[in-house]
Structure formats: structure tokens, C-alpha cells
Structure 1
């Protein structure tokens, strides 16, 4: 039987979000209804609201979520009612060319629920990243649910669903940061600071946080940066080289995603070092550099999509590390808000006052 719950929608590009009543259908084959406990406010949700993803309005926003499985449809075996889960937008198919080659973290055909959630008048909703978790409950594909230890704080656990996982994965999965490496991270918001926390976790020797905002640099130091660089006061490339014996860092992560920061990342790395782009550029951005520099520097130039994460592998591991006190995921929760404060949280995000606002349901 379908049910009606509260949900936050974006009805048109740029318009303030609305808290309204939405309809959740009974789960069909391979579908699951999840009762949402907490959901982080991610910049991607704001991009949806602004029409920067596509124009399939109205959107049901929210995707960094954790909650409890309420009911499951036919043929669901991976989760059961009562399971505590983190929702993800990479429900791997197992059959695409990436999955067949043993690289499911690059799956090209991820699953979403088949049925649509709707408004009470029957208008179909487009769930953000196939999730739509700014709601009391949501409908997802069973593969979008990853079971983790229920001892975890839902406000903390849900952040692995997107931004924090993107940063951790950029450092550990894509960048391959290891013990005694030197690492520089450009942009110390939620994603960049997660990369810093990941580098610290695996024992990187030198961890450099770079930003223009003193608050973000303080957060970087708290989360594991051994050095911070104020990009308004000194040249980041020269500063990184000075901190790494004149050579540059083994891994440089661009968590901003524009041509100037990517160029800084390129020249701040050691010969044969790695650049990881995890910040998301806009379609109009272009890069112009001497091609000879690409040849002469060697190394690897990579992009991290969702931190090259595989939810069933990564989520339980990071939650266990958090519960052991080895990964301070709780520091990313700057404030806890209610469902009717999402629009306010978007404005707080603009001001740079938080790493993450988290909706508690």
C-alpha cells in the first residue's frame, strides 16, 4: 500500500525549496522503502535546485542519507526490514563492461528504483541522484542500500553517501595515498578535508591543506593537516615545494575544480606524482597549458568520481574505523537541522560557515 510522507522538493530552477506531501509506493521487485534517520545537505542538492544537473523538475532533493529498511519488495535478499543502511547512488549492475572486467567501482549502468514517487496530484518526482532523502521515507533500489553497524550515529553515517566518501576515496582509492607519502589538498571544504582525514588515516608523512578561508584551514589542521597554506598570502605551488624538499607532493588533490586550481595541482606535484581532480568543473571551463609539460612531468592525472568507491566494500570499513575512534567522521557534522530548514542550510552553505548541515528526522 502506498503511503504519504513529508518531502522537500525543488519545483523550478532557482525557486526556494518546498516542504510538501509526497507519495511513496509499495516497493516492487528489487525495491526497498527506507525510513530516513538523517540526511546531509550537499552542494549537489543545491545544483539540482538551480537546474545545473538537468531540467527534470520537480526534484525530490537529498541523497547523503542513512536510515532503517522499513519494507522490501519481491526478490530482495540483500537487506531486510530493520537493517540500518547508508544509501548510495552506485548500485552496481554486475553485467556492464566495467563490472565484467572486475572494476565495479566504475559501473556504467547503476540501478535505481523502477517506480516513481509522486506528489499527491500524481506529478512524478525525480529523486536527486536516484535517492531523494529529504523525506521521512524514500523508495530506492535494494542495491542502493549498504548495511553498516547500527551503533553509528545516522548523521555521521549518511555523509559517506556522497561528499565525505568522495574526499576519502579521492585520497585512498584514486590517489592511492600511502604511508610516508606527501599530500597536498587544494580546497578544504567537506570533500577536501575528508581527503585530508583519509591521508592521515593511512599514515601520510606530510599533509598540506590549501585554501583562502582561515576557517577552512583551521578545520584542515584539526582533521590531520601537518601544514596549511593561505592561498591569499602566498603562492601555493612554491609553498608546497618548500614543504617537500623542493620536489613537490607525491599526490595533489584538487577539491575545487577550476582551471587555476588544477594547474596549481599539476605544478605542485613531484615528478611522476599524481594529480586527482575531485572538485566538479562547470561545462564552460577550459584548460590551456604547454603540452610539453604533460610529457616532461610524467606521473598520473586522474579524476575521482564518487572517490572510486564501492559502497559494499568501503562503507562498512569506514564506519568501523569511525566507531574505533580512528576516523573522525563526526567532525564533519557542523549543525543538525530539521526538514523545514533545508533552504536556510543552502544559504549557510554559501557563507562557508559549515562543513555539513545534517537534517535529522
Structure 2
């Protein structure tokens, strides 16, 4: 059976998105059909729309989603119809070298649904991050579904599907923030303020938020920043050092992903400290650092993909903390919108006036 549903399509680079009828097949082996409840509007979707990730148009956008499993294919055992799930783009294979050595969060062979969703004329769609959740239904690999508490607000917990998990994980998983650490986060959009929340959750006693937008810095304070720096007014490297006894922070997280912010992160860390890059650079960007400084300062330079998360481990744990009032996921939901308001949501995101617009279907 093929399901006709509405989905948000990016047909060409930079063109406005359109709401169109798409065809979604019943699940085959290893696949799950999911009725979408909510989906956050993420910068990654905007990157797809702008052609900054690939030119494999048309794209079915949306990936930061919650839903209810409506059907599963043969041999699927991890989820069943009726399960409330958060979707993720890391369906681990269980057999690559990372999985075999007990580090599935670094799986080198993550996978998506085999069958293709299409437009009515048969044109195959490229689902964003293998999900495509700006739609009433989507088809994913069953391993992309993580069962979660059905009582939790789907709009809030769905953000773990990308941006919020990326930021929290950058602090807790990649940065390995410890109790009493000092942490600086450069860039306080959705991922950056999530990194601030993650650092506070891990027990950091100094959490420094850096941005050029006072509104974003205020949000960071609400989510756990102990200090803020307006980097349009002062040198952020010197300001971070002043707030950390002249040494620099134990962990510095670059949530922007530009050469200039990475240099700031590199020089704002303590000797033997850790730099975490979680902001996504564009393909043309290059970085130049004195190799002697890289050698002489010691420590760790790390990249964080999806917060180095393992969804089956991290999603339920973070949702439990949310339900206990220890992690304010509601604070990330700026507005709730309908599926025909996504183009306006992209404009708000670009202006920095929202953390997340969340589509409710």
C-alpha cells in the first residue's frame, strides 16, 4: 500500500519550499512507518534548502521529530505499532569496527530506509538526514526510532532528534565536562544554548556564554550560564581568561563552526584543555593555526557529530531528567506552528528571533 500525504519539499537551491503530495510506501524489511506528531525547524533543514549539504534535490525536509509507529516491516523487533518514538539519524549497524569495539555512538555505517518516498510523478525524494519529517507520515529504518515516554510533550522531546542533543552531547559526551569544570560556549543559537544547559547539567561551576546578540545571551543565562560575554564589544579570548583566573576554560565549545570562532576557542582554553567543534562549517572554509601552538598547548581538539550520542542510551535518560524538572526542554520551544508556516520559520531562524519553531501535525 502507498500512502498519499502532504510534505514540505525543497525543489531547488534557495527556492521557497512548497507543500506537496508525496507517496510513502508501506515498510519493508527493517523499516518503520511513522505518523509524525511534531518536527522542529532546524538550521540543517535550511542548509539543505540552500544547497549547502548536497545538490540531490528535491529534498523532503524535516528531521527533528516525534511520532507514533503505525506499521513495521518484517523482522523488526525494536519497535511496534503504537510506540511513541523520537526519530534520529544514527541507526547503528551493530557490525562495523566501532560497533564491534563497544562504541556504537561512533558507528561508521549508519543507515536509512531502503525504499524511496516520491512525488506523485515518481520523482524520488531525498529525505533530510534520512528522515524527512515535515510530512504527515515518513518511512525510516527501524533503528532510527527510539521509544520514549508517551506522556512527555512531543514538541519538547522531539528536539533531541538533532540540535538539543548535539549541544548537550557536545558538553557531556564529547567534551566530558566534569563537576567543577569551567566551560565556555561560543555561539548561543539552539545548539549553543543546549551546550550551556549540558555543561550546567554536568556540574560545571563556571559556564560562560559568548555571542554578539544580547537576546541570545539572555537565553543562555536562563539555561545555566553563569557569565556572558558580548564578543562584539570585547575580545572573547581575553574575557574568558579573565573569568577563569587567567588560565582559560577547561572546555571550550565552538557552536558556530567558522575559522575565526575556532581560533577563539583554541586560544581561550586552558593548557591541556579541550576544544569541541560542534558548529558545522561550510565546505569552502579552511583553518590555519601555528603548528607549534597546537603542539605546545597540549590537550584535545575534538569534533562532535550529533553530540556523540547513542539515542537508545541518551534520549530516555534526558527525557527522564526533563520529567524530573532538571532539564528545561520546554525553554527551547519558542513557537508552535503549522506545516504551511515553515518558510516564515526559516526567516525567523535566520534573524535569530527564535530558538526553535516546532511544527505540530
Offset at residue 201 of structure 1 (A): 0.8
| Partner in structure 1 of residue 274 of structure 2 | 274
Offset at residue 285 of structure 1 (A): 1.4
Aligned residue runs from structure 1 range 96-107, under 5 A: 96-107=96-107
| Partner in structure 1 of residue 149 of structure 2 | 149
Q: Deviations over 1:197-221 (max 9, x none)?
A: 0111121110000000000000000
* Two-structure CA RMSD over aligned residues (Å): 0.7
**Distance in 2, Cα, partners of 1:51 & 1:234:** 34
Whether the aligned pair in 1 keeps the contact of 2:214 and 2:230 (CA below 8 Å) is yes
1:25 aligns with 2:25: yes
| Partner in structure 1 of residue 262 of structure 2 | 262
**How does the TM-score come out when normalised to structure 2?**
0.99
| Partner in structure 1 of residue 223 of structure 2 | 223
| Partner in structure 2 of residue 239 of structure 1 | 239
| Partner in structure 2 of residue 173 of structure 1 | 173
**Distance in 2, Cα, partners of 1:192 & 1:132:** 24
**Distance in 2, Cα, partners of 1:341 & 1:103:** 39
| Partner in structure 2 of residue 112 of structure 1 | 112
| Partner in structure 2 of residue 349 of structure 1 | 349
Aligned residue runs from structure 1 range 1-361, under 5 A: 1-361=1-361
Secondary structure in structure 1 of the residue aligned to 2:129: helix
Q: Gaps (5+ residues) in structure 2?
A: none
**Distance in 2, Cα, partners of 1:15 & 1:291:** 42
Offset at residue 327 of structure 1 (A): 0.3
Q: Deviations over 1:168-223 (max 9, x none)?
A: 00000000001100000000010000000011112111000000000000000000
Offset at residue 10 of structure 1 (A): 0.6
Q: Deviations over 1:295-328 (max 9, x none)?
A: 1110000000111010001011001100110000
Offset at residue 357 of structure 1 (A): 0.6
Offset at residue 160 of structure 1 (A): 0.4
Offset at residue 292 of structure 1 (A): 1.1
**Distance in 1, Cα, partners of 2:56 & 2:235:** 42
Whether the aligned pair in 1 keeps the contact of 2:52 and 2:282 (CA below 8 Å) is no
Q: Which runs of 4+ in 1 moved over 6 A?
A: none
**Distance in 2, Cα, partners of 1:204 & 1:3:** 48
**Distance in 2, Cα, partners of 1:262 & 1:55:** 27
Task: Tell me the number of residue pairs that the alignment of Structure 1 and Structure 2 aligns.
Answer: 361
**Distance in 1, Cα, partners of 2:285 & 2:23:** 39
Whether the aligned pair in 1 keeps the contact of 2:254 and 2:278 (CA below 8 Å) is yes
**Distance in 2, Cα, partners of 1:248 & 1:125:** 47
**Distance in 1, Cα, partners of 2:285 & 2:53:** 16
**Distance in 1, Cα, partners of 2:245 & 2:239:** 10
**Distance in 1, Cα, partners of 2:289 & 2:199:** 29
**Distance in 2, Cα, partners of 1:15 & 1:97:** 41
Secondary structure in structure 2 of the residue aligned to 1:66: strand
Offset at residue 158 of structure 1 (A): 0.9
**Distance in 1, Cα, partners of 2:234 & 2:46:** 32
